[in-house]
Structure 1
Amino acid sequence: MTGLTFDQLPNAVATMLHKMESLEQRLMQLLTSSPADDRPMGVTEAAEFLGIPKNTLYGMTSRREILCFKAGKHLKFRRKDLWDWVMEGRQETAAQIQSAARKGVRRA
């Protein structure tokens, strides 16, 4: 990693944010255009997708914190529903908050 001066930090952070937003857009395109999205996932696959233990996922479904449906006796999840749930918990960057404040947009 190259050494950055204090004066270079704002540009470096702006570049990183731009790259992250670009990656997020690409990921959303892949998630929304992939035919695999329509295939329901089981508990194991959903837990791996979210990076959490299966027991945690079971608890979240019983508390109705995460969207799921039952196919017979088995819990099933849609990839898009899981991704939407992840994005709901996303924290805005300082730049996004400042931009919204400049536009006069109220945050919920």
Structure 2
Amino acid sequence: MKELILTTYTREEFLDLVKEAIRSELSQFPPNTPKQTDKPLTIEEASEFLNLTKATLYGKVSRREIPVMKRGKKLYFSMSDLIAYLDKGRVKTFEELNEEAQIFLNRRKLRR
């Protein structure tokens, strides 16, 4: 876990540092191309991608649990929407929870 050192930066300076750190981290990953993430998938492709039966997928669509596009009687799914749907179910690690707790506590100390 990295240590967080607080100094007397102005809000704008602090935000600039955070933005630069985020840009630096994101530059290490290849950019997503629209061809990969926004390709519309059929119900068969989406059920295979999510490892769900078509019946389960139809149920999730009817309960509006999963984003879908409809054209006539056909259903289409965006790959990026399905990935976002999967990410919502991600469980955080203890390390991530501890880091969030530290950030929260540090913010509370700054406000006082």
Shorter-chain TM-score range? 0.5 to 0.7
- CA distance in 2 between partners of 1:69 and 1:40 (Å): 9
| TM-score for both structures, normalised by structure 2 | 0.63
Count of residues paired in the alignment: 78
Q: Which amino acid aligns with 2:64?
A: R
Secondary structure in structure 2 of the residue aligned to 1:90: coil
| TM-score for both structures, normalised by structure 1 | 0.65
> How far has the Cα of 1:42 moved from its partner?
0.5
Supply the RMSD in Å over aligned alpha carbons: 1.9
Pairing of 1:1-108 with structure 2 (within 5 A): 29=30, 32-104=32-104
Structure 2: segments with no counterpart, 5+ residues? 1-27, 106-112
Q: Which amino acid aligns with 2:92?
A: E
> How far has the Cα of 1:83 moved from its partner?
0.2
Q: Which amino acid aligns with 1:71?
A: R
Secondary structure in structure 1 of the residue aligned to 2:96: helix
Structure 1: segments with no counterpart, 5+ residues? 1-24
- CA distance in 1 between partners of 2:34 and 2:78 (Å): 12
> How far has the Cα of 1:39 moved from its partner?
2.4
Q: Which amino acid aligns with 1:80?
A: S
- CA distance in 2 between partners of 1:44 and 1:70 (Å): 14
